[in-house]
């Protein structure tokens, strides 16, 4: 499925690798002017993407960067909150720092960016905000209480923001992937991977491109009457 995002400006957090890089590729390939916000700038990044170094968990940094992008680009039409980290451990072994880091990067960053773009989009009377959650935000997962809490928080954040902004034609939705083949999931050993895939009805993980195409739908005019939704893209895992 292809879309036309010409003359539209998109911001993607965590766009330097993994799912974020696939999202940047898909949006830019379909005509969008794409800015990626992440802590590091890739050495061999996409030449069609503008990379901005930014700690998305830092409120002031995000407000400054997004203000600069708006002045430079003239509008902000699409925001994809994709930045995410894992610091997995059982609750008895998890330290406070690992809890705070995951909540700050996965959840607080979405507040930071949405706060920065909301007024801009309200002035435009249009906009698309797409949050990247996870199946574990619905199901939970042992050893991932911090990650699961951050992704569950994004669900409530998405629905609340959708209700606040709907009258201004700003639509907010969430995509909840299951197992996606990225650097983050490559940490699993062979036995862990087999056990995980055995639970997926489709018996495989998703590619970053398959997640990016769903982002494309939510960012496009084809979803102009869709807001406040959580869409699982997980090969049937959440059934």
8-state DSSP, 34: E
- Interatomic CA distance for residues 59 and 231, integer angstroms: 28
φ/ψ of 48, rounded to 5, equals: -90, 5
pLDDT of 1 above 70: no
| CA separation, residue 140 to residues 31, 108, 137, 143, 163 (Å) | 37, 19, 6, 9, 25
Q: Are 65 and 56 in contact (CB under 8 A)?
A: no
Give the angle subtended at the CA of 71 by the CAs of 7 and 61, to the nearest 5°: 115
| CA separation, residue 186 to residues 102, 182, 190 (Å) | 19, 6, 10
Give Rg (Cα) of the chain: 17
- Interatomic CA distance for residues 209 and 23, integer angstroms: 7
Q: Are 208 and 46 in contact (CB under 8 A)?
A: no
> Is 147 noted as a catalytic residue in this protein?
yes
The strand pair at 170-177 and 127-132 is best described as parallel
Please name which of 227, 110, 213 lies closest in space to residue 168, comparing C-alpha atoms.
227
CB burial string 133-162: b at 16+ within 10 A, e below:
bbbbbbeeeeebbbbbbbbbbbbebbbebb
Q: What is the pLDDT of residues 147-176, one digit of tens each?
A: 999 999 999 999 999 999 999 999 999 999
pTM metric for this prediction: 0.94
- Active-site residue (options: 35, 51, 147, 179): 147
- pLDDT value of position 200: 93
Place domain 9-227 in its CATH homologous superfamily.
NAD(P)-binding Rossmann-like Domain (3.40.50.720)
8-state DSSP, 144: B
Please name which of 2, 24, 12 lies closest in space to residue 222, comparing C-alpha atoms.
2
Q: Which of 40-44, 52-56, 71-75, 230-234 has the lowest mean pLDDT?
A: 40-44
Percent of the chain with pLDDT over 90: 87
Instruction: Please give the residue that has the higher pLDDT: either 207 or 186.
Output: 207
- pLDDT value of position 239: 84
- Interatomic CA distance for residues 10 and 76, integer angstroms: 6
């Amino acid at each position: 499925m292809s879309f036309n995002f010409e003359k539209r400006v998109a911001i993607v957090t965590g766009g330097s690798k993994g799912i974020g890089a696939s999202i940047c590729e898909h949006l830019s390939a379909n005509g969008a002017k794409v800015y990626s916000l992440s802590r590091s700038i890739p050495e061999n990044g996409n030449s069609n993407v503008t990379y901005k170094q930014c700690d998305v968990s830092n409120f002031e940094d995000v407000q400054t960067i997004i203000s600069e992008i708006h002045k430079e680009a003239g509008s902000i039409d699409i925001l994809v909150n994709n930045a995410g980290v894992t610091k997995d451990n059982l609750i008895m072994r998890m330290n406070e720092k690992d809890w705070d880091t995951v909540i700050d990067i996965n959840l607080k960053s979405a507040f930071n960016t949405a706060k920065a773009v909301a007024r801009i989009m309200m002035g435009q009377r249009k906009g698309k905000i797409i949050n990247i959650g996870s199946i574990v935000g619905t199901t939970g997962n042992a050893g991932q209480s911090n990650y699961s809490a951050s992704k569950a928080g994004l669900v409530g954040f998405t629905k609340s923001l959708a209700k606040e902004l709907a009258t201004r034609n700003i639509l907010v939705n969430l995509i909840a992937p299951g197992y996606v083949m990225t650097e983050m999931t490559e940490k699993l050993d062979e036995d862990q991977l087999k056990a995980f895939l055995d639970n997926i009805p489709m018996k495989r993980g998703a590619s970053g491109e398959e997640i990016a195409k769903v982002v494309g739908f939510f960012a496009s005019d084809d979803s102009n009457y869709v807001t406040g939704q959580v869409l699982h893209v997980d090969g049937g895992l959440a059934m």
